[in-house]
Amino acid sequence: MALDERVSGVFEDADDGSEAFDQAEDGVPQVLSRLSEADDRAATPGQLAIVEQVTADAQLLELWLHGRSQHTQLGHLAPASRARKISSIKSLFGFGHRLGYLPFDVGRVVRRPKLKDTLAERILSEGDVHRLFLAADQPSSVKCTPLQEKRARRNYVLLRLLYTAGLRVDEVARLAWRDLRERGDAGQVTAYGKGGKTRVVLLPASVWRELLSIRDGAPPDAPVFASRAGGGFLTTTQVRRLVYAAATTAGLDERPSPHWLRHAHATHALERGAAIHLVQATLGHSSVATTGRYLHARPTDSSARYLPV
């Protein structure tokens, strides 16, 4: 009998297996052990044989992993990266089960490692953000060429747009001039991003003027931030590198990614009184709870301030 048929039989005979799934914290062998204990109390010899076989299969998998490279066991990854990969695997198995392709969701017994919330560590101060802007606007050499000056100006405007519009790195990298529209003395940007969602963000007049200053008569389908090699769209890797370079020039202690500017946008806007639902709409969060994380990461008050110390 195939493994999926044997395991399916186990869960059909064990009160639907939901309690065992909910209590699982350490992986498949522990869940199977609990099911085996339940079957010991009220199970036929045939059912016990199935549990024993499934347990043997799980042990076989552990033996196969033993001694394998760290890459096979995900041991070389940071906890956050490991959690993301486990989430992807769980999502795949869950999707296959919902489609009916898999008889049961084997990924449900796998728990993601619990992670420390490091959001507060990835929020730049307003001062650090402005130091990034100034650093990006400086050419890489004292005797710079017109091309270097143009590239420095492009980098400056890109960082300003990342921050003021709260864009993701892939959204800003693939912006074309047709995605920008004038609105009175300012303008708006249309971003197409995560989850295939489109949102429109109204820009400050100052940032709008800076964007227009780097257009140089480019056609509507041309990239807003063109690569120096061939004039095509920047890659997300190139955007990350220019943010890293600006942080180094600015002398920041941290090595921020482009996404840190999005975190800074949310935090600074909320601290300056922006409504949380407005910030949610600007950033494109599907849930206001996601936006609310920034309030917890940078509280404006705490009971510690009321103690006699």
For the question of residue 277 being annotated catalytic, the response is no
Cα 128 to Cα 8, 136, 163, 256, 276: the distances in Å are 56, 12, 12, 10, 23
Question: Is the confidence at residue 74, as pLDDT, over 60?
Answer: yes
Residues in CB range of 118: below 8 A, 6 or more apart: none
Is residue 89 within 8 A of residue 110, CB to CB? The reply is yes
Question: In the numeric block, which tokens belong to residue 64?
Answer: 């196969």
> pLDDT higher for 77 or 64?
77
Task: Report pTM.
Answer: 0.66
Average pLDDT, the chain: 79
The single residue of 131, 151, 262, 268 carrying the catalytic annotation is: 262
pLDDT of residue 123: 87
Question: Is the confidence at residue 41, as pLDDT, over 60?
Answer: no
Question: Is the confidence at residue 1, as pLDDT, over 70?
Answer: no
For the question of residue 194 being annotated catalytic, the response is yes
- Domains of the chain, residue spans: 3-109, 120-302
pLDDT of residue 252: 92
The single residue of 131, 168, 263, 265 carrying the catalytic annotation is: 168
Question: Is the confidence at residue 24, as pLDDT, over 50?
Answer: no
The single residue of 194, 215, 241, 277 carrying the catalytic annotation is: 194
> Do strands 198-203 and 186-192 pair parallel, antiparallel, or not at all (unpaired)?
antiparallel
Question: Is the confidence at residue 189, as pLDDT, over 70?
Answer: yes
Question: Is the confidence at residue 295, as pLDDT, over 50?
Answer: yes
Q: pLDDT digit string (tens) for 102-112?
A: 888 888 877 77
> pLDDT higher for 14 or 100?
100
Query: CA end-to-end span of the chain, whole Å?
Result: 70
The single residue of 6, 108, 259, 293 carrying the catalytic annotation is: 259
For the question of residue 285 being annotated catalytic, the response is yes
pLDDT of residue 253: 87
Q: pLDDT digit string (tens) for 229-278?
A: 778 999 999 999 999 999 999 999 888 999 999 999 999 999 998 999 99
> pLDDT higher for 138 or 188?
188
Indicate the pLDDT class of residue 52, thresholds 50, 70 and 90: low
Which CATH superfamily hosts domain 120-302?
Intergrase catalytic core (1.10.443.10)
How many residues would you count in the chain?
309
